[in-house]
Structure 1
Amino acid sequence: MTASRRQILTGAATAAASALAAALPAQAQSGAPAALRARRLKPGDTIGLVSPANATFEREPLEIAIESLQALGFKVKPGAHLRSRYGQFGGTDAQRASDINDCFADDGVDGILAMTGGSGSNRIVDKLDYALIRRKPKFFGGFSDLTSLVNAIHLQTGLITFHCPVAGSEWNEFSVQQFRAVAMEGQAQLMQNPPSERGDNLVPREDRISTLRAGVARGPLIGGNLAVLCSLAGSPYFPDTRGAILFLEEINEYIYSVDRLLSTLRLSGALDQVAGVVLGKFTNCGPGNGGYGVLTLDEVFDDYFLPLKVPVYRGAMIGHIKKKFTVPVGQLAEMDASAGTIRLLSPAVN
C-alpha cells in the first residue's frame, strides 16, 4: 500500500470514528458504564423502604407512607434501620448505607424507595456497594437530598435511577399517574405541566411555563436539587453533564444563595457543555429581609443560562411541590423549551 493511499484510508477511518463519537451520548464517550435499566415495577412487587437521609420521628408518617405504597399495589419491606435515629439522620451512616446495600442484595426486593429527604445522603454516597448494584440493578428513587444518591448510582453503575416522590410524599393523582407511566408501565412519557386552571382570575397563575431561550435539545437527564448537586462538586460522584439536559430545583434558599450555587456549577465547568436546561420549582426562594436590593431570580437565571445559548425553560413540575414528575436520571430525552415539555426517547425500565 502506498503512503498516500494509507494516509487517505487512515484519514477516512479517523473521520468516521469522530463522527461516531459525536453521535454517541457523552457518557459513552467518557467511558462511563453503559446504561442499565431496572425491571419495571408491577403490582405485587415488593418495595424496600429505606431512610438514607433524615429520620422519621413520628409513627403516623411511616404508617401513611406504607399505606400509600400498598395502595399503589406494592408489598412493603421496611429496611432493618428504617425507624432508627442518629441525630437528625435515620440511623448511623453505616446503618443507612447497609439498608440500601441489603435491599439491592435481597432477591425478594424488587425496588427501593426512600422514606424522606432532609440531609445525610452525602455521608453515605461512598459507602454503597456499586459492584453489587451493577450486578443486581433495581428501581431506586427519591428526590431532594436523594439527588446525591440517584446521580452517584447512575454515574458509578450506569443504572437509570429516578428523581421521584419519596414514600412520604403526597401521592396525588398527578404524581401517581406520572410514576405509573414511567416506572411501572415503561412508557416513553411526555412530561408536561397539567393544564393551568385560572379559577376566578382572567388568566392562569399556577404551574406556568416560562421560556428563557427557545429550542429543542436531546441528551440524558441529569440533575435534581441545586444545593445537593453542588455539594458533590469536586468528588467522584459529581455527575457528567456533557451533552446532558440539566434539570434543577430548589427550596428555602435566598436568591443570593441560588446565585452562589449556580456560580459553583459554572466554575466547575458543569454548565459548559450541557445540551439544555430545565428549571423546576424554586420554592420559597426569595430576596430575604433585604427586599429587592438583590438580583431577582429572573436576572440570576438570565445571567447564568442565556450565555450558554442552549434551550432553557422554567416552571417544570420538578421539586418541593405536591404534583411531581418522575424523572429518570440518565435516560435519553428530548426537551422543547417553547412547549415546556420533556419527552423520554425510550422506556426508562425494562
Structure 2
Amino acid sequence: MQRRHFLRLSAWATAGAAIAPLVPYRAMAIRGDRIKPARLAAGDAVGIISPATAAFLREDVEIVLEAVRALGLEPVLGEHLFDRYGYLAGQDRDRAADINRFFADPAIKALIPVQGGWGSSRVLPYLDYDLIRENPKILVGFSDITALLMGITGQTGLVTFHGPNGLSGWRSQEVDMFRRVLFNGEAVTFSNRLAGVDSDRLMQVSNRTQTITAGQARGMLVGGNLSVLSGIVGSPYMPDLTGGILFLEDVGESIYRIDRMMTQLALAGVFDNLAGFIFGQCTRCGPDADYGSLTLEEVVWDHLEPRGIPAWYGAAIGHLEPLLTLPVGLEVEIDATAATIQMTESAVT
C-alpha cells in the first residue's frame, strides 16, 4: 500500500501551530479534575500515532489499519507517523504535534499508538494540555505509552486507558473487553481468567494471584509499566497518587532492577499515601546474579507488605494476552483477597 493512499489529516493549521510551548506544568491531584471522553461508535475516526519507537515496517502499519477497521473504526494516520530519528518515530516536537492535532480535530474520537518501545516521555513537554483538557478523547495504549497516560491524566484529569496498542494481538477476549469499556461504557469488574490450558486440571496453575495484604480499598486507578513510570518520578508529569490505587507491570527486567525501580518509588514517597496496590505480570523477569538473588515475590513483598494497605500480586496486567482495557484516573474498588478491580462507574460518556 502506498503512503499516499493512507488517510491523512487535512486540517488544523500549520505544523508550528500544533506545537505547544515548552512550559512546565504543575503536577495536579487527579481526584477533583476528572474528565471522561465520549464513548466510541461504529464509523468513528481514530488517530494512529507513533509517540515512541519508529514504525520501521510499512507492513506493521497495514496490520494496525486492518485491526482498527475490523473494530468498525476508521483509521487516520498522523502526519509524522513514518518519520524516523534514530530509534524514535521522528523528532519529539513532531511526534507531539500529531497528538495535539488529533486532539484538536473534532472528527477524531480516539488515539491509538502503533506500538510502544521508547520515547513517549520525551514528548510530554510539547503537548498542549489546555487543548487536550478542552477536547477530551479516548487515548489507549500500554508499555511505553504509560508516560502519555500518566502525563495526560495527571495534567488534565482526562481518564485514559491502559489497553492494547495497534500491534497487539486483538484476539477475541481482548476485543470483547475493549468494546465493553470503550463502546458500551460498561462498569466492568476485572479478574484473572482461568487460562484454557488449565481447563482440565484439578488446580489452577497459570494466572494465579497471591494476597500480599488482605482488604478492600477504593481510589483512583493509576499505573502502568514500572520502568517507564519510575522514569518520570519527580517530574511535573507524575500525578499525585494520594489515595490512589497503583498497579505496576514490566517485561524483560532482572529482579535486581525491579528492586531498584521500586526502591526509587519508595524513596520518592510514591507508596506512602496509596489506598491500595496491585502488582501484575513481570514477563521474563528473572535473577541476574552470580551468587544469589531475591525472588520477585520477595522484592514486591518487601516494599508493600509493611505499608499495610490492601495489595495483591499476579494480576493479569502486563505484556501478555489478552490485554485488559483498564481506566487510568477513574475511581475503582479493589478486593485484595478476591483479586478483583471493580469499576464504580462508566469510564466514558
Q: TM over 0.5: same fold? A: yes
Query: Shift of the alpha carbon at 1:272?
Result: 0.4
SS at 1:110's partner residue?
A: strand
**Aligned mates of 1:228, 1:30 — CA distance in 2:** 20
> What 5-or-longer segments of structure 1 have no aligned partner?
1-28
Query: Shift of the alpha carbon at 1:212?
Result: 1.4
Q: Which residue of the partner structure matches residue 314 of structure 1?
A: 313
Measured against aligned partners, the alpha-carbon deviations of 1:131-155 in whole angstroms (never above 9, x if no partner) come to 0001111111111111111011011
Query: Shift of the alpha carbon at 1:322?
Result: 1.6
> What 5-or-longer segments of structure 2 have no aligned partner?
1-27
User: Contact 2:35–2:157 (CA<8 Å) still a contact in 1?
Assistant: yes
**Aligned mates of 1:79, 1:31 — CA distance in 2:** 28
SS at 2:348's partner residue?
A: coil
**Aligned mates of 2:97, 2:171 — CA distance in 1:** 31
User: Contact 1:110–1:138 (CA<8 Å) still a contact in 2?
Assistant: yes
**Aligned mates of 2:186, 2:126 — CA distance in 1:** 33
SS at 2:125's partner residue?
A: coil
Q: Which residue of the partner structure matches residue 339 of structure 1?
A: 338
Q: Which residue of the partner structure matches residue 186 of structure 1?
A: 185
Query: Are 2:48 and 1:49 equivalent residues in the alignment?
Result: yes
Map of 1:266-281 to 2, 5 A cutoff? 266-281=266-281
Map of 1:62-141 to 2, 5 A cutoff? 62-141=61-140
Select the structure of larger CA radius of gyration. Answer: 1
Measured against aligned partners, the alpha-carbon deviations of 1:105-141 in whole angstroms (never above 9, x if no partner) come to 1111111111100000111111100000011111111
**Aligned mates of 1:31, 1:348 — CA distance in 2:** 14
**Aligned mates of 2:32, 2:69 — CA distance in 1:** 34
**Aligned mates of 1:286, 1:319 — CA distance in 2:** 16
Measured against aligned partners, the alpha-carbon deviations of 1:285-323 in whole angstroms (never above 9, x if no partner) come to 1002537x0110111111000011011111212111121
Query: Are 2:297 and 1:298 equivalent residues in the alignment?
Result: yes
SS at 1:348's partner residue?
A: coil
TM-align CA RMSD: 1.5
Normalization by structure 1: what TM-score? 0.89
Query: Shift of the alpha carbon at 1:32?
Result: 6.6
**Aligned mates of 1:151, 1:58 — CA distance in 2:** 28
Measured against aligned partners, the alpha-carbon deviations of 1:66-91 in whole angstroms (never above 9, x if no partner) come to 10010011000010111111111111
User: Contact 2:244–2:275 (CA<8 Å) still a contact in 1?
Assistant: yes
Q: Count matched residues.
A: 321
Query: Are 2:248 and 1:248 equivalent residues in the alignment?
Result: yes
**Aligned mates of 1:145, 1:70 — CA distance in 2:** 24
SS at 1:81's partner residue?
A: coil
**Aligned mates of 1:287, 1:159 — CA distance in 2:** 38
Post-superposition, which runs of at least 4 consecutive aligned residues in structure 1 deviate over 4 A? 29-33, 199-202
Q: Which residue of the partner structure matches residue 288 of structure 2?
A: 288
Residue identity matched to 1:261: M
Q: Which residue of the partner structure matches residue 259 of structure 1?
A: 259
Map of 1:155-166 to 2, 5 A cutoff? 155-166=154-165
User: Contact 1:37–1:160 (CA<8 Å) still a contact in 2?
Assistant: yes
Query: Shift of the alpha carbon at 1:203?
Result: 2.4
Measured against aligned partners, the alpha-carbon deviations of 1:190-232 in whole angstroms (never above 9, x if no partner) come to 1111124425654222111221111111000011000110101
**Aligned mates of 1:326, 1:45 — CA distance in 2:** 19
Query: Shift of the alpha carbon at 1:279?
Result: 1.0
Measured against aligned partners, the alpha-carbon deviations of 1:24-58 in whole angstroms (never above 9, x if no partner) come to xxxxx958751100000111101000000001211
Q: Which residue of the partner structure matches residue 3 of structure 1?
A: none
**Aligned mates of 1:302, 1:33 — CA distance in 2:** 31
SS at 1:125's partner residue?
A: helix
Q: 1:42 to 1:252 in 2, by over 3 A?
A: same
Q: 1:32 to 1:182 in 2, by over 3 A?
A: closer
**Aligned mates of 2:284, 2:239 — CA distance in 1:** 26
Residue identity matched to 1:209: T
The percentage of counterpart residues that share the same residue type is 44
SS at 2:33's partner residue?
A: coil
